[in-house]
Amino acid sequence: MISPKCNEVEVEIKNLIKVWLKVLASLCYCYFISSNIPKGILRFLSLSPILYLFTILPFQLSFVLPIGITSFFITWLTNFKLLLFTFDLGPLSSNPKISLPLFLTFACLPIRITQKQKHPSKFNVLLPIKALLFCLFLISLNDQKQKQKMYPSIIIMGLYCSLIYLLLDLVLGFFNILINFVFGIELELPSNEPYLSSSLGDFWGKRWNLMVTYILRHTVYTPMRTLMSKTMLGPQWAPMPGIMATFLVSGLMHELLFYHVTHVTPTWEVTCFFVLHGVCVVVEIGVKKWLGHKWRVHWAISGPITVVFVVSTAAWLFFPPLLRDGADQRSIEEFKILVDCVMRKF
């Protein structure tokens, strides 16, 4: 006899399949119809129903992880890639036109072709280790009441930050390996050891979630910097409003992702988290411009300060909207239900 919980899993899997079939059908429309429309406002109008559909699709799911992945992959990254596609830019550019399988792959998944000649063998070796660490951290956070007694809050927040990092690396790394195997394409790694960051600029610009960094750079930062360079700020200071706009958009997209997961009215704490970090990055760059290259803090000092600042501000502003709703515990329970149903099945 199938348990009610397993029935819920089966229903969620069916809903997930329906959602992604809609995604694929919509992207086929973009490939065959929109790509033949002149770039600019006309192509944007042809894509606008797809942009709206991709924004509401996560509401058709009920489990935390499928909602989060669909919102991150489709509502955020795919929509932003389609905005670039409006002007024949980005990975979906029709100049030169790529094949339909590659178009669907690069549109759906948070991947891009690497610009460096490097082999991700080290990353492939570390992936099982990261999977083991993810499971261990998940087990350690299993009991909400017990973990509050055992660990100080800063340790708990450190574990949550580690879980987010490991989950992103595992999900994105899996797709990198899969696409590399199917198409033989060398892809950019999902992250570059963010725990070794020497500054906030290094963390956000070169190490953390590189696909999001790439998308935001081309959809927000570069246009804003180009626009502001023509004002009284000039080319030297034009990057500053570009940085602030980038962090603001990132905050708003995280608010939307959290709203998909929790269905709770945004408190704007997550936006404040990213705006705060944007201000800190701007100040950091300004201080470096003022002091020049003569005076630099050694990594042994700046590295730990950067990591502690990211974890502490995340504990203050980033995680509370999810923790108040119990999304963390729901995701753990859903993971346990899934494992239980798989064990019952096989």
Rounded CA-CA distance 331/346 in Å is 23
Contact 258, 322 (CB under 8 A): yes
Query: pTM of the predicted model, to two decimals?
Result: 0.88
**Which of 110, 145, 172 represents a domain boundary (last residue)?**
110
3 state SS of 245? helix
Which residues lie closer than 8 Å to 271 by C-beta, 6 or more apart? 248, 251, 252, 254, 255
**Which of 160, 189, 218 represents a domain boundary (last residue)?**
189
Structure token pair of residue 137: 């951290």
pLDDT < 70: residue spans in the chain: 1-3, 114-125, 142-154, 293-295
The pLDDT assigned to 246 comes to 96
Q: Are residues 130 and 101 in the same domain?
A: no
Q: What is the CA radius of gyration of the chain?
A: 21
Rounded CA-CA distance 95/89 in Å is 8
**Which of 48, 82, 110 represents a domain boundary (last residue)?**
110
Q: Are residues 204 and 184 in the same domain?
A: no
Q: Are residues 106 and 121 in the same domain?
A: no
Q: Are residues 103 and 88 in the same domain?
A: yes
3 state SS of 53? helix
Q: Are residues 218 and 346 in the same domain?
A: yes
Contact 89, 218 (CB under 8 A): yes
The pLDDT assigned to 145 comes to 47
Q: Are residues 97 and 122 in the same domain?
A: no
Rounded CA-CA distance 193/214 in Å is 17
In the chain the first and final C-alpha atoms are separated, in Å, by: 14
Q: Are residues 152 and 135 in the same domain?
A: yes
Which residues lie closer than 8 Å to 10 by C-beta, 6 or more apart? 2
SS3 content of the chain, % helix, strand, coil (to 5): 75, 0, 20
Contact 151, 191 (CB under 8 A): no
Q: Are residues 156 and 63 in the same domain?
A: no
Which residues lie closer than 8 Å to 16 by C-beta, 6 or more apart? 61, 66, 70
Q: Are residues 237 and 213 in the same domain?
A: yes
Q: Are residues 39 and 16 in the same domain?
A: yes
Structural domains in the chain (count)? 3
Rounded CA-CA distance 80/191 in Å is 19
The pLDDT assigned to 32 comes to 93
Residue 321, domain extent: 196-346
The pLDDT assigned to 296 comes to 72
The pLDDT assigned to 338 comes to 81
Selection from 336, 345, 4, 323 nearest residue 164 by Cα: 323
Task: List, as one string, the DSSP characters of 150-176.
Answer: HS-HHHHHHHHHHHHHHHHHHHHHHHH
Question: Which of 182-203 are b and which e, b meaning 16 or more Cβ less than 10 Å from the residue's Cβ?
Answer: eeebbbbbbbbebbebbbbbbb
Q: Which residue type, as a one-letter code, is found at position 7?
A: N
The pLDDT assigned to 231 comes to 79
